[in-house]
Structure 1
Amino acid sequence: MEALGDSMKVVVKVFRRECHRVLDSERTTIHGADGMHMVLQLAMAEVKKQRGGEFKVALSDVLMAWKHLLLDKLHLPPPDSARLENYDLIREAYDSFLKRSNTVDLLDIFSMYKQLRLADSDPDEPVSPIQMFEFLSGNMEVSGLPDSSVPSTPSSSQSRRCSSQVKMAVRRVFCSYLSLLVNAKNDMASALTLDVPDRALGRQAFTDVKHAAQNDNTSLFLAVTSFVRAIQLGGKGYAPAESDPLRKHVKGLSDFVQFIDNLEEILGEVPDPSVCGAKLVTAIRSVLVKGRSSEDAVYAAAEETTTELKERVRQLHLIQRQSADGSGTGISPARPKAYAVNHATAYGGRDTVKVLMALLDEDALKPPCRNKADLLSEDQPVLSGAEGTCILTLFRSPEVSTGCSPEPLRNRVQSRLDLLKPKAEDKVIRSQFACTYKDEELPLNRVLEFPSTSQVPSCVHAAPKPKTPPAVDEETTTDVPTSISENKKQSSEQRGVALGPRSGNAQHGLAGSRKKTGARMQNKGNKRKQVDSDQQGGSENEPPQKKQPTSVSVKVPSKNVGKTSSKKKLIAGQGKLTSFFRV
């Protein structure tokens, strides 16, 4: 059926030449049979999710809906089977996806052909609806069109299937990158290239990008580009907030945008379409084979696809140049306006875009994949990390925990009790100079068991405390710590005795002075003992001895109550350090 292949090329050519009459954009791309299957699968899963189900659809349901869709858009009689449930909602979701992505399918082109063709030069009806239905259903062999690429020398049936599957996925990635250069709104192309090669952008990152695009009512690629540009050029006042979910994927999204920028730079700087197309394909091939060995299936598929695309770009450029020289009217998409500011620079890459669109149109005319399970199932060849190329898996949001634990009730109760148990505080090891630290407040047991003289008893009628005999002699019990003025008075008296005139009572005076000196030294020792007893801490390295569990009472000294109560509470060990520097 070589005539059918040529007729379909005529339909697409007429559409590309006159699409500016019916479409808002001249860079609208075309979905082939495989792309239409993917979009239909997404539309059915979305409708099922809206009806309260899961974002999942069976392969048999997709094939049934595909038959209904072809007959409906070709205006053919409906099938003998019953009408598909929720078909109107599925058709609405399908058309909405195409419009949002600035794309059309082959059925839309076929329906617009009568409106766009010229009566004098174009044939009336090159393809009949029945022929179009048979072609898209996969029941008709068509020559003259690019067939699904299959390796020439497979070793076995299993290797033939795997190699064909890998090469189909690799070629789809090449065409998706080139499609983004032509149509930045193509969400299908963005989904196939966002994490190929691996950029650490898995399902969660794609879900965050999808939600950002829905909130801004824009495409996936434009949502990513606007976020990265705001990070790079926005500044402090215009940069996205730290709570933005895309903040977690800045590096991967920046790498993706940077690679597209490199492709666009090649597109605008190289004027020759053949050379430019070869450089674009080589750049895509370099990122796909990076880090892979030559024995890898992806490496071999990328090498073969690169060679095929380079040769086809060169042929298409030669054909377009010959047709332009013969007719004298070279028409290409995105024609710059005469009043445009960048009128001179807007021509950069225009001829290359025209060649790329012709290449993508030929890829859209490719016959549908025979094995729909390889195209639509979740078991796809791995091209990036741990993620496959299945569109349904990629568009499905990751599962969110509902809060229901699968653990038994006994385990959940025990884990809850473990959380409610008080945790033991870590013991702090202090150095020998711990007295210089201002610690937090003492524990409650130390405050109650070892009160200082400045604390007032909380109970008016305290229980009588059992009296214990003093451990010191009478002289030390009668001594009370004196103030600084009394110390000065004693020192002045001592100086007066030492400098007084000698007399017959020198021996008596000397003995008296020695007696006073001994008493003074004894008073100093009593002071140190008194200060240490006020601290109730004993040695720095020994814990204080606990008292018997009796009622708490505070012993208030009988003398100098006002003086002792007015003193400030000392830090543990400060009394020793102060007395040491006084000597």
Structure 2
Amino acid sequence: MASLEENLKTMLRIFRRECHRILESERTTIRGSDEMLMSLQLTMAEVNKQESGEFGVALSDVLLCWKSLLLDRLQLPDGGSPRPENYELVRREYESFMKRTNTVDLIDVYFMYKQLRLETDPEQLFTPAQLLQFLLGTSDCAEETSSIPPCPSTPSSSQPRPCTAQMRRVARRVFCSYLGLLVNSKNDLSLANVLDSPCRSLGRAAFTDLKHAARNSQTSLFLAVTSFVRAIQLGGKGYAPAESDPLRKHLKGLCEFVHFTDQLEELLGETPEPSVAGAKLVARVRAVLLKGRSSGDSVYTAVDDTAKALKERIAQIHSAHQQSALTMGISPARPKAHAINHATAYIGRDTVKVLMNLLDEEALAPPCRNKAELLTDDQSVLSGAEGASLLSLYKSPAVVTGTSPKPLRSRIQAAQAKGKVKERGLRSQFACTYVETDDQPLNRVLDFPSTSQVPTCKHPAPKRLIDRPPPITDWDGDSENQESSGQKESHGLENGEANTVSIAALGSRQGNAKAQVAKETQPKNKKSKTPLDATAQGSKGMKRKQVDGADLCGEENQPPAKRPPLKASTAALGAKKTLKAPTKKLIAGQGKLTGFFRL
């Protein structure tokens, strides 16, 4: 009587022979017991995220749901045990994950076998209860009976870690994941196992960005990473991804991964012999995994022995295919003579068949007995990282929220931004002519050395006086006279000359200082007749000084001789200016000196 392991191999062989009748793709791969359990863990974590917003699940919940899922799908009685919460949602998500990754599990193969078998094939190889025991790991098939050879002891005394069965299992999984991507590129679980093996600085953040990109484009992870790298390498300015693309932060590691998979595909298509092609593929994966490791390392020993075992097994599968073709009398397919790229299409086909048989045998490997070791830290064996697992890889990095305290620098910057006032740029000497949004003292705007030079102005001049000053001949406005007298009283000026100096200082910002001086001083003389009459009735010496001062001011305030002659209005203005009596005595030559500096 054949053992359960032999019956399982017969079931898979018949399934591969007839699966093209019901499957959409001939490259559909099969998941074993361990991959089924890891897929269930990811599915439950995704359901918990949809329900509660947290991507995570307890190990006890996974094991409880695992048993319920097997009993339900194998149509076996559950003994009255209650099903886990959200079980129906978990099962639908699990089946959707299998379909999306172009994979089937052993339970699917078991029911498909009943539909695909021929009359010459055995009707029932084993019962559903036996398959349940095999998947749970309670059958007679022990883990030590797998095809993984025992790891020999190394005499080196510098061995940091002993070579364990877990190292051999993880090393074999990495090899088969690389080979599985050549057969089925939609298998996201295989890409998750090899994306950062060896280390390419593609951790959880890079995998999360890649997962989001694949979800947005509704493609597999492998197609998302290859399309991104191809667009960077071959795309022009209008086709390359934007600079804000999150995957650009991991461009170096993603390019290394795609370059390595391209090398594997070239070996697959260039080598016609399946056994030689398989040996080259395994050797290339071994080289990258052992790069930088010494021969005394336990990981080196596990990877090296796994590579040797896989090469031998690929050669045995190829020999079995050749023997079956000779005994059954089936001739190989004749390539078309005029087909385009027929060599590329037919060379790698036999190698793919050999690799698929190898992956089917890996699916029949006995499950891992230590479920906690498989689901929590199985990914950290080759990399040496602590707490690395498939669940932690799929879990998105934590995002900073408002509940946890932010760093001190962030809090200071936020406080400064909240109470930040409007910054003012550099001001020119004419900045005071611009309209300000807030009322500021004039000394703050002009930034004079001393506030005693120019008094503060509470009410700046109206805009019409700045933009369009009135003509010089218009001196009869009463409002202008009142404004000029008000400015004189507020500034506390004692004479017209001081008033002229102050107005010139303030009027320089308007670009027409002389017009402002004439405008401000002329109406004042019109109203100051009483002081002039009183002065005219004074002593004779006082009259002489007054006349001399008036003549000096009248003569020296005239424009230069080179200018055209003044009009009648300007002459009348000069005559009015002569009537002004200064309150201060003029030193000899002061008028000439003043006129010189005015020019």
Length-normalised TM-score, structure 1 = 0.71
Once the two structures are overlaid, the 10-residue window that deviates more, 175-184 or 304-313, is: 304-313
1:354 paired residue number: 353
Residue type at the aligned position of 1:181 = L
CA drift of 1:138 comes to: 0.8
Name which of structure 1's ranges 391-400 and 30-39 shifts more when overlaid on structure 2.
391-400
1:238-266 deviation per Cα after TM superposition (whole angstroms, max 9, x unaligned): 22233322222222222211111110001
RMSD: 4.3
Corresponding residue number in structure 2 for 1:100 = 100
How far does the alpha carbon of each residue in 1:423-442 deviate from its partner, in whole angstroms, 9 at most, with x for none?
999999xxxxxxxxx99969
Q: 1:407 Cα deviation (Å)?
A: 6.7
**Aligned amino acid, residue 305 of structure 1:** T
Match of 2:542 in 1: none
What amino acid maps onto 1:141 in structure 2?
Answer: D
CA contact (8 A) 1:192 1:389 kept: no
CA separation of 1:214 and 1:233: change in aligned 2, threshold 3 A: same
**Kept in 1: contact 2:290–2:303 (CA 8 A):** yes
List per-residue Cα deviations over 1:490-541 (Å, max 9, x = no partner): xxxxxxxxxxxxxxxxxxxxxxxxxxxxx9xxx99996xx5xxxxxxxxxxx
Q: Which structure ranks higher in relative contact order (CA pairs < 8 Å, sequence separation ≥ 6)?
A: 1
Equivalent residue letter for 1:393: S
CA distance in 1, matches of 2:411, 2:185: 54
For 1:207 and 1:299, how far apart are their aligned partners in 2? 30
Structure 2 counterpart of 1:370: 369
Which residue in the other structure is 2:255 paired with? 254
- Structure 2 residue aligned with 1:204: 205
Rounded Cα–Cα distance in structure 2 between residues aligned with 1:480 and 1:273: 113
Partner of 1:49: 49
Task: Tell me the residue number matched to 1:186.
Answer: 187
Equivalent runs, 1:222-233 vs 2, <5 Å: 222-233=223-234
- Taking a change above 3 Å as real, the CA distance of residues 483 and 174 of structure 1, as seen in their structure-2 partners, is farther
The answer to whether the 8 A contact 1:196-1:384 is kept is yes
Instruction: Output one character per residue of 1:445-501: Cα deviation in whole Å (capped at 9) or x when no partner.
Output: 36263799xx9973943334577999xxxx9x99989989769xxxxxxxxxxxxxx
C-alpha distance in 2 between matches for 1:126 and 1:116: 14
1:86 corresponds to: 86
Letter matched to residue 246 of structure 2: P
Write out aligned runs for 1:400-549 (5 A).
Answer: 400-406=399-405, 417=415, 445=444, 447=446, 449=448, 458=461, 460=483, 461-462=486-487, 463-464=490-491
Residue 71 of structure 2 is aligned to residue 71 of structure 1: yes
Could you list the per-position Cα deviations for residues 284-305 of structure 1 after superposition, in whole angstroms to 9, with x for gaps in the alignment? Answer: 1111122233333322221111
Quote the Cα distance in structure 2 between the aligned partners of 1:411 and 1:235: 40
Q: In the alignment, what sits opposite 1:268?
A: 269
Please say if residues 198 and 385 of structure 1, whose CA atoms lie closer than 8 Å, have aligned partners that are also in contact: no
CA–CA separation in structure 1 for the residues paired with 2:38 and 2:93: 13
Q: Which amino acid aligns with 1:68?
A: S
Amino acid at match of 2:231: A
TM-aligned CA deviation for residue 191 of structure 1? 1.0
Residues 216-240 of structure 1, C-alpha deviation per residue, up to 9 Å, x if partnerless? 2221101111222222223222222
In the alignment, the residues of structure 1 paired with residue 127 and residue 357 of structure 2 have an alpha-carbon distance, to the nearest angstrom, of: 23
Partner of 1:151: 151
Task: Decide whether aligned partners of structure 1 residues 417 and 92 sit closer, same or farther in structure 2, where only a CA change above 3 A counts.
Answer: closer
Number of residues of Structure 1 aligned to a counterpart in Structure 2: 481
What secondary structure sits across from 2:380 in the alignment? coil
What corresponds to 2:514 in structure 1? Answer: none
Q: Secondary structure of 2:30's partner?
A: strand
Q: Distance in 2 between matches of 1:211 and 1:46?
A: 14
In structure 1, list runs of 5 or more residues that go unmatched: 429-437, 488-518, 531-559, 565-583
SS of structure 2 residue aligned to 1:34: helix
Q: Which digits, 9 at most, give the CA deviation of each residue in 1:183-231, with x for residues without a partner? A: 0111110111112222222212211211221222221101111222222
User: Does structure 1 conserve the Cα–Cα contact (< 8 Å) formed by 2:380 and 2:388?
Assistant: yes
CA distance in 2: counterparts of 1:340 and 1:136, whole angstroms:
46
Structure 1 contact 149–168 (Cα < 8 Å) conserved? no
- Cα deviation, residue 26, structure 1: 0.7
Unaligned runs of 5+ in 2: 433-441, 463-482, 499-548, 564-588
Task: Show the 5 A alignment for 1:15-54.
Answer: 15-54=15-54
Residue 314 of structure 1 pairs with residue 315 of structure 2? yes
Cα distance in 1 between the residues matched to 2:202 and 2:429: 50
Q: Tell whether the 8 Å contact from 2:30 to 2:363 is kept in structure 1 after alignment.
A: yes
Query: Who is 2:5 aligned against?
Result: 5
Secondary structure in structure 2 of the residue aligned to 1:81: coil
User: CA–CA distance in 1 between the matches of 2:299 and 2:556?
Assistant: 96
Mapped pair 1:139 → 2:138: yes
CA pair 212-380 structure 1, distance change in 2 beyond 3 A? closer
Displacement after TM superposition at 1:380 (Å): 4.2
Deviates further, 268-277 or 323-332:
323-332
Contact 2:286 2:304 in 1 (8 A): yes
Match of 2:217? Answer: 216
Q: 1:133 to 1:247 in 2, by over 3 A?
A: same
Partners of 1:154 and 1:160 within 8 A in 2: no
Query: 1:2 Cα deviation (Å)?
Result: 6.4
Question: What is the CA–CA distance in structure 1 between the aligned matches of 2:559 and 2:167, rounded to whole Å?
Answer: 96
SS of equivalent residue, structure 1 residue 238: coil
Could you say which residue in structure 2 is the equivalent of 1:61?
Answer: 61
Is the contact made by 1:203 and 1:394 (CA closer than 8 Å) also made in structure 2? yes
TM value normalised by structure 2: 0.70
Contact 1:148–1:367 (CA<8 Å) still a contact in 2?
A: no
What fraction of aligned residue pairs are identical, expressed as a percent? 53
Counterpart code for 2:81: S
CA distance, structure 2, for counterparts of residue 382 and residue 399 of structure 1: 24
Residues 417/241 of structure 1: CA separation in 2 closer, same or farther (3 Å cut): closer
Match in the other structure for 1:291:
292
Contact preservation (8 Å) 1:29, 1:103? yes
For 2:528, the equivalent position in structure 1 comes to none
> 1: CA distance between counterparts of 2:320 and 2:371?
34
**What SS does the corresponding residue of 2:104 show, helix, strand or coil?**
strand
